[in-house]
Structure 1
Amino acid sequence: MTKVQMTPENVEGLSTSRRNLMRFAALTGAASAATLISTTSSSSPAHASDATSNIFPSELTYPTVNGPSLALWGSSSFEGAQADQGVPAGFNATIEALLHTYLEAPVLNFGRGGETSTQINARRGTPESMYKLVFPQDTIPASGSVEVTLASDSNVAWGGSTLAAGYVGGVPGVLVPASNDTFTFTRQVDGEAIYAPATTPASWFHSYQEMISRSSYHIIQIGRNNMNQTEQIRKDTEHAFALAPKRTLVMGHFRSRSDSKDSDRAKQVSEYNAWAAEKYGELFVNPETFLRETTQESWLRYGALSGSGVWSSDTDRKAYDEGKIPPSLFSTDGLHLNGWGYIALAQMLYYKVTGLGWF
């Protein structure tokens, strides 16, 4: 196989300056995972769990934003599924942790595994995907939890992975699945019962994540869990992008380890990425290209990916010839990346957002 020669300057969808390259080299070093561990562990993501007050549970608290920040909207890849695989113990290879280190800025991790593009958009706060709730007797109780359903005109469907913090009629609460087609809304602050008639804005759920990220830059990667719904994913991408069109980066998708280039998912990934690249131009970034091509280059392979073993086996080379991503970057489940794969994606996003002048 003839090795494809790629550099940070000519990777599709990336724009990198010498200043950014030098800054990144200083952050990561080039020697080993041990260097990466000391870099990231000494600058782990700051969370607001120690703030003076926070009415939501600890898993729904986020860094305090006092300046430029970055919000990550997506499913399990942004949440960090399997990020501990492959890398040395103790190294936090989640995209959130790595970008926080590289950018020296708050990173709001709004990844939630298992969610579809529409469910992610419900947390993103798009008007088209709001949870429109139906309370018993059209009333939010004065305290505690209540089982609710979705109004018939809700565009977002019930989801078993839902975990959302927000406000209904000014009442803070957390929404989680109760059973098929029903949710539990748990009020976070006791008070008076509130009249919230169904089919009116008084019963709509307003996302807390959307509220706290209005000043942020945004990266969206939505639709991996419903790739077969081509038109829906495109509409949801458009709706999410429209909330902050000058401050939003659309991240494409990548196929799974076992997906051949002729598989349904590979075709869906390719079609979505081509559509998004044409529609969003410099505000689109293609992870498939980065994982297949850029990880071969010495500045990355012998830099931050030192110790990964990527491209050192015949298996990786054979996968490339078959149009696939190298298996060395996947976790054991074959669906998610391992820690090394996340390191590659975090660097891709670092170069992109700094190239755009956001940080």
Structure 2
Amino acid sequence: MNEYVFELKDVSIAAGSDTLQINNSDSVFGAIPSSMLWIDSYRPRFVQSVDNTARTVTLTANWDGADVINKPATIAPFPSLGQQQNAVDAVNSVKSSAQTLLDRFLSLESTYRDYLADRFFTLASLIENNLHYQTYQEMIAAPNPSVSNVMAFVWNDPIVANNGLYGFDGSNWEWSVFNPAVKDDIENLGIEYQSQNASGLAFAIVDENGLRTWLESDIKGKPTSHAIEKIKLVSDFYTGSEVFDFFESEGWENIDSSLESIAYSVVDENGLRTWIESDLSGNPTTNSIDKIKQTGEFLDSSEIIENISSQTGSESFNSSISGVAFALVDESGRRTWLEADLNGDPTSQSVNRMAAALGLANKWESGPNFVAWGDSLTAGTGGNGTPYTQHLQSLLNSVGSSASVTNRGVGGEDSVTITARTNANPFLCEVDNAQIPATGRVNITLMPINGVIPAPLKQGPSSYAATLNGVAGVFGRTITNSIYQYWFERDTDGDAVECIGEYPLYLTSSYAHQEDIAIIWMGQNGPTNARTVNDARAVAAYLSPPQSRYLVLSKPGGNSYQDADDAVFFAEFGRRFIPVRQLLSRYGLQWAGLTATQADLDDMATGAVPASLRYDAIHLNTPGYQCVAKIIFERLTELGWL
């Protein structure tokens, strides 16, 4: 760095403008025309002129990026020919090193080819000496091999479980536990084919395709590890330590047909009761609950099962219920707690009734209300006063939903600031004079949250009700010469409170949304894609119900170059992630019933949101926000959250 390099802490420039505004007292006196300007991750631009009095920098071309608000920037001279030559030499050096590595790799090619050929020859020899049968009965009917340790494949038996690899032990054919997968997509489905030779399995209820569900018992009448894993996929019965580690205890008993209050009980081949049974109200019996208690410590409290007999809620079974593969009903046709969805997992009714019987938190799943966290896109900039949340509310009302949608969007905020507002990663404060005084206001300094300083209260509200180090009060700011000063003022007088160090500041209003279904839309204002993913994960984890529900939306700005960013979100959140830009680019005009203009076609060719759905380079217009609401509504319907 030299005297012609300028580090600017706070600048702004609008999309399409050639004038950059310096928002503080940073000087650009002496800046050289044709210097280069860097802002965040945007490509550098060239400086045409500077005006230190007006605190502006004029660029050689209009800014073609998104609106920049309160961001740092750097101005530096264009490198000399010597500096450019040094850079070229460095690139050539890297190229030479890469060529050396490539040459070394190619020299190993023949050795690697020989290695593969040798392994293939060995495998082919093994297969050549084995036996092959189309059906299991064909193998049994064939003469036994004259020696033991012979392998055989059954490859096309109509009974799926009979197919696979067998070994001859000298007198009998034994099915091998080292069989290959039956279907390539087993891992995607989360289910597996039932095997008559599964070790320790007394029985399993399967669907019409022979696929195991979560309803099965081991030879001691307890849930199998497969059943427990299925339950774990849809629940969090523990409060801090792993609880599914204790499946050794006994707990079976002879079935007594004279037992009252039992609608039915699934028993093993010896007539012993398992954990799968239902009382006359369709709820788990005391025996079921006892067996579940024996296999885990579901709560830290000493007593976890109370008033089981009062847990009711059976309902008439409706064969048209969406997403239910089967349900066991009582003699009156009412659904019990024993049912599975299309993937073989417990249905939401099963989970909720188990939670009630186990005495877990009253709120098992997020909802029914919604909260929308975000920046100006959530606040609705460009939407003619109607953000997407209002359009979503109308769609919910149209299907008879009583759920409400609360908008918590504030313009200009990055993901760090938004996450702090949710209380997931709260604001961290240093208090002037290291104490909250007995009365009145005290200035505070916001500290970095994992390396990034949040910037709240620049748009939207000028203060929030908050709690700092156990003291209730108001968190606000004053602005002097574009400099923000944050402060905290306690609600009521009291003793001074010592605050040596950094203390979290929690917003009071955010607590009310911990049980809501969260719609998280942030990252357009930075700081980075990776940080936005981490912040979205933190907001989702902060939701209080064990079965939390949330959606994460991508930023709409940019083009297909941002597909890689979306891929990172999808890898983290799966179907809970909505790639807004990609969907609006491909289908938005059709959803909105609009005819594409040439500008729209040009945008769509690059993967950008069509101009007819945008207010500016970043923000959407009314049809655009209506499309966002439609996408969210359809995803909520798909996930079964309405």
**TM tier, shorter chain?**
0.5 to 0.7
Q: Where do residues 36-115 of structure 1 align in structure 2 (5 Å cutoff)?
A: 68-84=368-384, 92-104=385-397, 105-115=403-413
Deviation at 1:335, TM superposition (A): 2.1
Partner of 2:428: 132
Instruction: Give SS of 2:413's match.
Output: coil
Is residue 147–residue 184 contact of structure 1 (8 Å, CA) maintained in 2? Answer: yes
5+ residue gaps in structure 1? 1-18, 21-66, 85-91, 303-309
- Counterpart CA distance in 2 for 1:197 and 1:243 is 25
- Counterpart CA distance in 2 for 1:253 and 1:316 is 19
Name the aligned partner's letter for residue 214 of structure 1. Answer: Q
Deviation at 1:220, TM superposition (A): 0.8
- Counterpart CA distance in 1 for 2:582 and 2:617 is 18
Partner of 1:184: 487
Name the aligned partner's letter for residue 107 of structure 1. Answer: V
- Counterpart CA distance in 1 for 2:637 and 2:409 is 22
Deviation at 1:343, TM superposition (A): 0.9
Q: Where do residues 133-282 of structure 1 align in structure 2 (5 Å cutoff)?
A: 133-151=429-447, 155-159=451-455, 161-162=457-458, 163=461, 164-168=464-468, 169-176=470-477, 178=479, 180=483, 182-187=485-490, 189-199=491-501, 203-226=503-526, 229-244=528-543, 246-255=548-557, 259=558, 261=559, 267=561, 269-282=562-575
- Identify which of structures 1 and 2 has the higher relative contact order when contacts are C-alpha pairs closer than 8 Å and 6+ apart: 1
Deviation at 1:346, TM superposition (A): 1.1
Matched, 1:353 2:636: yes
- Counterpart CA distance in 2 for 1:246 and 1:197 is 34
Name the aligned partner's letter for residue 311 of structure 1. Answer: T
Is residue 161–residue 177 contact of structure 1 (8 Å, CA) maintained in 2? Answer: no
Summarize deviations over 1:82-138 as a string: whole Å, max 9, x none: 210xxxxxxx53112122222242212111111111111101212xx3222222333
CA pair 343-153 structure 1, distance change in 2 beyond 3 A: closer
CA pair 151-327 structure 1, distance change in 2 beyond 3 A: closer
- Counterpart CA distance in 2 for 1:318 and 1:301 is 18
CA pair 358-317 structure 1, distance change in 2 beyond 3 A: same
- Counterpart CA distance in 1 for 2:439 and 2:368 is 36
CA pair 102-199 structure 1, distance change in 2 beyond 3 A: same
- Counterpart CA distance in 2 for 1:109 and 1:193 is 37
Instruction: Give SS of 2:519's match.
Output: strand
Partner of 1:3: none
Deviation at 1:155, TM superposition (A): 4.8
Name which of structure 1's ranges 93-102 and 133-142 shifts more when overlaid on structure 2: 133-142
- Counterpart CA distance in 2 for 1:122 and 1:108 is 18
How many pairs align?
Answer: 263
Is residue 589–residue 596 contact of structure 2 (8 Å, CA) maintained in 1? Answer: no
Partner of 1:116: 414
Is residue 93–residue 340 contact of structure 1 (8 Å, CA) maintained in 2? Answer: no
Partner of 2:146: none
5+ residue gaps in structure 2? 1-320, 323-366, 398-402
Is residue 125–residue 210 contact of structure 1 (8 Å, CA) maintained in 2? Answer: yes
Deviation at 1:161, TM superposition (A): 4.0
Is residue 518–residue 549 contact of structure 2 (8 Å, CA) maintained in 1? Answer: yes
Name the aligned partner's letter for residue 356 of structure 1. Answer: L
Is residue 132–residue 204 contact of structure 1 (8 Å, CA) maintained in 2? Answer: yes
Name the aligned partner's letter for residue 277 of structure 1. Answer: F
Instruction: Give SS of 1:353's match.
Output: helix
Name which of structure 1's ranges 153-162 and 317-326 shifts more when overlaid on structure 2: 153-162
Deviation at 1:160, TM superposition (A): 5.8
Name the aligned partner's letter for residue 175 of structure 1. Answer: G
Deviation at 1:354, TM superposition (A): 2.5
Name the aligned partner's letter for residue 606 of structure 2. Answer: E
Q: Percent identity?
A: 23
